[in-house]
Amino acid sequence: MYYISNRSPLPESSVIVRGKNLVPQVYQILYKSIISLWLKPGQPLREKEICKQLQISRTPVREALLKLADERLIVILDRSGTYVSRINIEDVKESQFIRESMETATVRYAVKNYNTDLSEKLSLLLEQQKQCVKDDNRLRLSELDDMFHRTIVEFRFSSRIWKIINNAKAQMDRVRILALPLPRRATEIVEEHSKIFEALCSGNETQAVDAMSFHLNTVFTSLEQLLEKHQEYFEE
């Protein structure tokens, strides 16, 4: 239903760097293709075509697919093949719970230790996001959304915390990308980020936590609309 025969199985930008470990590279290419919805929920994955495009053997592709299956992003069925998993609502709820728990804690810390450097970084990201809304560049807006959150998380903590959040939010990210074309959603993202930024600047810990919590909970509002519009992308 979703597979288009004259379309490359992966984005044309997918490139393998020779001389480096192939499995992590293939994993990242497939992971980003799934999260960005280049590979849509329910779409079949054909190892042979992926190998042909990346010009590699099947072994690293299979190993990457096994890792993605363990993360519930793909489904491997012995007789009927390999498919991108449909979005599971319970997985989305779990992703959101982990994100909210960790990011409200990190934004609380950011308020207490706020400085000019963080202010300048977040201000620049907001300006870039506003430009994306004007240009209707939704994919770039999604990337800048991640950068905004990561900047706050890594303000005083190592990248390990962001890695934990990033690994946990994969299912939630697919809903976020799917929701971007909804009316006003792109504008709302920037508005929600602006409220977080304003609370940080004012040193209001309660407002910052509330603004972050509200922003991360909008995924559920989007879900209601998406279940009607793209029912085929979700598990029954």
Max CA-CA distance within the chain? 59
Could you please report the per-residue DSSP string of 115-129? -HHHHHHHHHHHHHH
Say if residues 128 and 151 touch (Cβ distance below 8 Å).
Answer: no
Query: Using one digit for the tens of pLDDT, what is the confidence trace for 111-155?
Result: 999 999 999 999 999 999 999 999 999 989 999 999 999 999 999
Query: Using one digit for the tens of pLDDT, what is the confidence trace for 82-119?
Result: 999 999 999 999 999 999 999 999 999 999 999 999 99
Query: Using one digit for the tens of pLDDT, what is the confidence trace for 190-229?
Result: 999 999 999 999 999 999 999 999 999 999 988 988 999 9
**What's the pLDDT score for residue 3?**
47
| pLDDT interval class at 40 (50, 70, 90) | very high
> How large is the average pLDDT for residues 11-37?
94
